[in-house]
C-alpha cells in the first residue's frame, strides 16, 4: 500500500509542477462551460411521438397516419391517459405527444383545441418539432374539413381549429438547459482522457518506465495510480461546472444531486480508463494527444447528441454513437438534472457505462502486462 501511495504522490508532483497542465485542467473547463453553454443550433428527424386520444376514431387515424407518414415524426404509442404520456416522457421513450379532444368529428364544424406536448430540455429541438407538428396537423385537419363539410354546414362565424404547444421541463426555452449537460460530457471526456493518455507515454519518453517495470507493484496498481490524481482533479472540475451551471447559467438541478454526482464519477472513471488505454497503445506523447483529439474530440462532439440529435443521423452513425461514452452520460445528465427523473429511469445508461469501464480497464491491464513481458 505504501508503494501505491508513493506512485500516486509522484504522479501528483508531475502534474502540479507543470503549469501548462494545470492551466488545461483547471482553466479550460471554466472557459468552455461559459462559452459553450449559451447557444448552438440543431435540426430534427424521426421524432418519437405518442398520440393521446380517448377513442381511435376514423378522423384520428387519418391525422395520425399523415403525421407518421412524414419524415419528421414516428408514431410509436397510442394511449388514452395523460399518466401514460407522462410515463413515456419520463422514460425517455418519446420526445413529442399530440393530445386530441374527446370528439374529433366535431372539428369539422366547431372550434376545438389540439395540444402538442414537447420535451424542451433542448429548446431549439422542441420548437422545431412542435412547429413541424403544427403544420402537419393543420394540413391534415383542413383536408378532413374540406372533404366532409357541405355548404349547408358552412358557418363563417365558426373559429378555426386551435393547435397550441406546451413545452415540458424548460418552458422558458433557455438553451443552457440543453448545452450544459452536453458540455459537461465533453469537458470531462476530453480533460480526463487526454490528460491520462500521456501519463504512461511520458514515463517511456523520460526513461522512467524501467523503474516501473522492475518494481514489485502489481501492474493494475500502477495503472490505477496514474488515474487517481486526474480523478481527484476531475472532481474539482465537476464541482466547478455544477456551480457555474447553477449560479451563472441559472440551470437548476431538478433531480437527485447524489445520483447526478454518482453518475458523473462513473463517467469520469470511464474517461480515465479510455485515456490510459490510449496511453498504453501509443509510443509518444504527441501521438497520444493526436489519438485522443481525433478519436475522442470529433466523435464526441458529433455523435454524442451534444449538437446533433442522434435520431436524425443515418442508422450506421446511430450504431457508432453507442460506442461513445459521452452519449450515455449526456442522456443521463439531461434526464437527472433537467427532467428530474429518479435514478431508476436511467438504469440502462448506467449499466452501459459500467460495462464500458470494465472493458476498458481490463483491456488496459492486458496491454500493460504484454509490455511487461
Alpha-carbon gap, residue 92 to 86, rounded angstroms:
10
Element holding 99 (H helix, E strand): strand 96-99
Do 109 and 221 share a domain, yes or no? Answer: no
Top-confidence residue, 208 or 146? 146
What DSSP character marks residue 96?
E
Do 211 and 327 share a domain, yes or no? Answer: yes
Q: What pLDDT is recorded for position 108?
A: 54
18-32, 40-54, 55-69, 93-107: least confident range? 18-32
117 backbone dihedrals φ, ψ, rounded to 5°: -105, 125
Note whether 202 and 296 are within 8 A (CB): no
- The residue assigned the cell 451551471 is 245
Do 194 and 255 share a domain, yes or no? Answer: yes
Do 232 and 186 share a domain, yes or no? Answer: yes
Question: Among residues 114, 135, 168, which one ends one of the domains?
Answer: 168
Domain enclosing residue 125, as ranges: 47-168
Note whether 164 and 111 are within 8 A (CB): no
Q: What pLDDT is recorded for position 39?
A: 37
49 backbone dihedrals φ, ψ, rounded to 5°: -125, 145
CA dihedral 245, 251, 257, 263 (to 10 degrees): -70
Note whether 79 and 52 are within 8 A (CB): yes
Question: Among residues 144, 168, 192, which one ends one of the domains?
Answer: 168
Question: Among residues 116, 151, 168, which one ends one of the domains?
Answer: 168
Q: What is the number of structural domains in the chain?
A: 2
Mean of the per-residue pLDDT values for the chain? 77
What DSSP character marks residue 202?
H
What 3-state DSSP class applies to 326?
helix
Note whether 331 and 92 are within 8 A (CB): yes
50-54, 138-142, 224-228: least confident range? 224-228
Note whether 98 and 115 are within 8 A (CB): yes
pLDDT digits (tens, 9 = 90+) for 314-328: 778 788 888 888 889
Top-confidence residue, 175 or 41? 175
Cα–Cα nearest to 290, from 300, 302, 299, 278: 278
Instruction: For residue 132, give the CATH number of its domain.
Output: 3.40.1710.10
Amino acid at each position: 500500500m505504501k508503494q501505491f501511495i508513493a506512485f500516486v504522490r509522484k504522479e501528483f508532483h508531475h502534474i502540479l509542477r507543470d503549469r501548462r497542465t494545470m492551466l488545461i485542467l483547471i482553466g479550460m473547463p471554466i472557459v468552455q462551460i461559459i462559452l459553450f453553454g449559451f447557444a448552438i443550433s440543431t435540426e430534427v428527424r424521426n421524432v418519437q411521438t405518442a398520440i393521446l386520444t380517448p377513442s381511435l376514431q376514423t378522423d384520428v387515424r387519418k391525422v395520425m397516419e399523415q403525421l407518421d407518414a412524414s419524415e419528421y415524426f414516428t408514431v410509436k404509442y397510442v394511449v388514452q391517459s395523460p399518466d401514460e404520456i407522462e410515463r413515456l416522457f419520463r422514460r425517455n421513450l418519446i420526445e413529442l405527444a399530440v393530445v386530441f379532444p374527446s370528439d374529433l368529428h366535431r372539428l369539422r364544424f366547431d372550434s376545438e383545441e389540439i395540444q402538442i406536448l414537447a420535451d424542451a430540455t433542448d429548446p431549439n429541438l422542441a420548437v422545431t418539432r412542435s412547429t413541424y407538428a403544427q403544420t402537419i396537423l393543420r394540413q391534415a385537419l383542413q383536408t378532413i374539413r374540406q372533404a366532409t363539410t357541405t355548404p349547408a354546414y358552412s358557418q363563417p362565424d365558426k373559429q378555426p381549429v386551435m393547435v397550441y404547444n406546451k413545452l415540458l421541463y424548460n418552458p422558458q426555452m433557455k438553451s443552457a438547459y440543453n448545452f450544459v449537460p452536453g458540455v459537461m460530457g465533453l469537458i470531462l471526456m476530453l480533460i480526463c482522457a487526454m490528460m491520462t493518455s500521456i501519463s504512461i507515454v511520458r514515463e517511456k519518453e523520460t526513461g522512467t518506465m524501467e523503474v516501473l517495470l522492475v518494481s514489485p507493484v502489481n501492474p493494475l496498481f500502477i495503472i490505477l495510480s496514474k488515474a487517481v490524481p486526474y480523478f481527484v482533479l476531475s472532481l474539482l472540475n465537476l464541482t466547478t461546472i455544477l456551480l457555474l451551471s447553477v449560479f451563472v447559467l441559472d440551470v437548476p438541478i431538478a433531480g437527485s444531486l447524489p445520483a447526478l454526482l454518482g453518475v458523473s464519477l462513473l463517467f469520469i472513471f470511464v474517461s480515465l480508463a479510455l485515456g490510459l488505454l490510449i496511453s498504453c497503445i501509443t509510443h509518444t506523447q504527441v501521438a497520444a494527444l493526436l489519438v485522443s483529439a481525433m478519436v475522442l474530440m470529433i466523435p464526441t462532439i458529433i455523435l454524442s447528441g451534444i449538437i446533433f440529435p442522434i435520431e436524425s443521423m443515418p442508422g450506421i452513425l446511430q450504431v457508432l454513437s453507442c460506442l461513445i461514452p459521452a452519449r450515455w452520460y449526456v442522456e443521463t445528465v439531461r434526464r437527472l438534472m433537467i427532467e428530474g427523473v429518479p435514478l431508476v429511469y436511467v438504469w440502462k445508461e448506467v449499466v452501459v457505462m459500467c460495462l464500458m469501464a470494465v472493458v476498458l480497464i481490463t483491456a488496459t491491464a492486458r496491454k500493460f502486462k504484454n509490455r511487461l513481458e
